[in-house]
């Protein structure tokens, strides 16, 4: 989908330079949608707030009413990518289902939402700006999610009895994020990964064999949390 | 290590603005070293050829004598990251050792070289500029390496008899590259990954259990190729 490919009706209220072009029910959402597209397509450093305003069809001054600086737009976009899986990760902390099921459920939902996102916003994790003080809060939130993966992975490994696998507990979080690289390279969300990555995660933690039972339990658990989605199979 | 932390003696020949500051035996190598540091630390888009010349301690005009444009510097840096594992991948194509050993050897050496590289240059794979026509040749070379991983992974899976694992053959190449993200996040090469990632790759392809024998064979094979390195254990 390219910029300006869709036009919704002009809403009442604020004057606009031209027809609404972006997805989103509020000006703020439209700005985020346009910025996500431009940042991922052309690069964060190569995109001006002027270009974002133009893509929305608003004046630059109106954009500054919502976001004081380009960094604030980036911060809001990044926050969204972590905000989606975070509540599930939090809930999984205390659930009385086996760790392997909880880890599978988290990875499954997370890969799915990274595929389902309209733009590949998580590709922005790699830009050097994220290492600055401005993005410290985002880094802390992402670290929290990462630790949740590691805790669940450690519990999954411990119960399996396989040896030499403990160094792998850092890798499930990383393997989930490879979906972002695959999407960048292929230009399309890799639907097959929604199932293949959670499967691979459990196997690399030393639990081979059929995963049908783990998958069924994870599905039932997610369903009980009100989360339903296609499994990519 | 920060820019200018080391000073080598001024060589004979070309006049210089000041003392040599960079690693590298030729001006070209020094330019590449400085560019790799600046591109990875500050971003490709945020780095000018002037900044690279300044970091080397040469005039911008001298830099243009070696590289006509900033894109040519990036292309040379990227070529290096693929050039290291490529000859091994090529040789592995026809070797009479089991696929699981060949895959282990390739991943082991590749993770090691990504850790051992002076700068985390492979982090530049994520920048949008790489999707342009200018970098098509690089993309094709990286795709070749990726296909080699997939061929070896397919052969590894086929012989294990595990079911539902075939979707995972795309993932070993991706898991190897996570070392680049880990290095970016942690600011340091993750030595533990040199062993943990090849181990995880074999396990996620449905081959659980002890990997000591595979590792020993991979080491012997690499040694026969003249490749020796610390195994990160």
Q: Which of A44, A128, A164 sits opposite B42 (nearest CB)?
A: A128
Residues in chain B closer than 8 A to A167 (CB atoms):
192-193, 195-196, 199
The alpha carbon of residue B132 and the mean position of all alpha carbons in its chain are separated, in whole angstroms, by 21
Give the pLDDT of residue B231: 64
Cβ contact B171–A197 (<8 Å): yes
Residues in chain B closer than 8 A to A175 (CB atoms):
171, 174-175, 178
Q: Which of B44, B127, B203 sits opposite A204 (nearest CB)?
A: B203
Strand partners, B18: none
Is the Cβ–Cβ distance between A49 and A40 less than 8 Å?
no
- Domain at A1-68: CATH code: 1.10.10.60
pLDDT in tens, B177-216: 999 999 998 889 999 999 999 999 999 998 877 889 999 9
A 27-86 → B contacts, CB under 8 A: 40-46
Structure tokens at A102: 């909880």
Q: Which residue of A has its CA nearest to B143?
A: A185
Task: Return the SS3 of B185.
Answer: helix
Give the pLDDT of residue B16: 52
Task: Tell me what the mean pLDDT of segment B75-91 comes to.
Answer: 90
* Confidence bin at B8 (pLDDT 50/70/90): very low
Distance from C-alpha of A68 to C-alpha of A71, rounded to nearest angstrom: 8
How close is the nearest chain A Cα to the Cα of B156, in Å?
A: 14
| CATH architecture for the domain at A78-224 | Orthogonal Bundle (1.10)
Is the Cβ–Cβ distance between A150 and A143 less than 8 Å?
no
Q: What is the value of ipTM here, to two decimals?
A: 0.86
Task: Tell me what the mean pLDDT of segment B225-230 comes to.
Answer: 81
Give the pLDDT of residue A163: 60
* Confidence bin at B126 (pLDDT 50/70/90): confident
Q: Which residue of B has its CA nearest to A46?
A: B45
What is residue B95's DSSP assignment? -
Task: Tell me what the mean pLDDT of segment B39-44 comes to.
Answer: 92
Q: What is the mean pLDDT of each run of 10 residues along chain A (233 residues)?
A: 38 50 83 96 92 96 96 95 87 87 96 94 91 94 94 80 75 96 91 94 86 93 85 55
Give the pLDDT of residue B12: 44
Residues in chain B closer than 8 A to A127 (CB atoms):
43, 126
Q: Is B216 on the interface with A (CB under 8 A)?
A: no
Domain boundaries, chain B: 1-68, 77-224
Q: Is B167 on the interface with A (CB under 8 A)?
A: yes
B 121-160 → A contacts, CB under 8 A: 123, 125-129, 131
Q: Among all chains, which residue has been given the structure tokens 């199932």? A: A195
Evaluate whether B1-68 and B77-224 have a shared fold: no
Decide if pLDDT at B1 tops 50. Answer: no
A 10 A CB-CB count for A136 gives: 11
Residues in chain B closer than 8 A to A196 (CB atoms):
167-168, 170-171
Q: Please provide the DSSP assignment of chain A as one string.
A: --TTS--PPPPSSS--SS---SS-SSHHHHHHHHHHHHHHHH-STT--HHHHHHHHTS-HHHHHHH-SSHHHHHHHHHHHHHHTTHHHHHHHTS-SS-HHHHHHHHHHHHHHHHHHSSS-GGGGGGSGGGGSGGGHHHHHHHHHHHHHHHHHHHHHHHTT--SS-GGGGGHHHHHHHHHHHHHHHHSS--TTHHHHHHHHHHHHTT--S--HHHHHHHHHHHHHTT-------
Q: Is B163 on the interface with A (CB under 8 A)?
A: yes
Residues in chain A closer than 8 A to B70 (CB atoms):
none
Task: Return the SS3 of B133.
Answer: helix
The CATH label, of 2.30.29, 1.10.12, 1.10.3470, 1.10.357, for the domain at B77-224 is: 1.10.357
Task: Tell me what the mean pLDDT of segment B163-167 comes to.
Answer: 73
Residues in chain B closer than 8 A to A43 (CB atoms):
45, 127-129
CB pairs under 8 A between A and B: 117
Q: Is B183 on the interface with A (CB under 8 A)?
A: no
Decide if pLDDT at B132 tops 60. Answer: yes
Cβ contact A178–B174 (<8 Å): yes
Strand partners, B8: B20
Q: Which residue of B has its CA nearest to A211?
A: B164
């Amino acid at each position: 989908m390219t910029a300006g490919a869709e036009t919704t009706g002009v809403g009442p209220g604020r004057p606009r330079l031209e027809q609404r072009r972006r997805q989103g029910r509020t000006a703020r959402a439209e700005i985020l949608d346009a910025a996500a597209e431009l940042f991922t397509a052309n690069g964060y450093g190569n995109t001006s707030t002027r270009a974002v305003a133009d893509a929305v069809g608003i004046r630059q001054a109106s954009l500054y009413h919502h976001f004081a600086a380009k960094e604030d737009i980036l911060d809001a976009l990044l926050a969204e990518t972590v905000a989606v899986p975070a509540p599930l990760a939090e809930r999984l902390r205390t659930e009385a289902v086996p760790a392997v099921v909880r880890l599978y459920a988290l990875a499954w939902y997370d890969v799915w939402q990274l595929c389902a996102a309209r733009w590949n916003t998580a590709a922005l994790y790699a830009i050097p700006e994220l290492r600055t003080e401005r993005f410290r809060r985002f880094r802390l939130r992402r670290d929290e999610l990462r630790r949740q993966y590691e805790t669940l992975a450690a519990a999954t490994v411990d119960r399996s009895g396989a040896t030499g696998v403990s160094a792998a507990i850092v890798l499930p979080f990383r393997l989930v994020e490879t979906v972002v690289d695959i999407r960048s390279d292929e230009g399309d969300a890799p639907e097959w990964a929604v199932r293949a990555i959670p499967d691979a995660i459990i196997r690399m933690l030393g639990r081979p064999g059929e995963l049908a039972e783990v998958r069924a339990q994870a599905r039932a658990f997610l369903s009980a949390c009100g989360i339903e989605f296609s499994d990519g199979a």
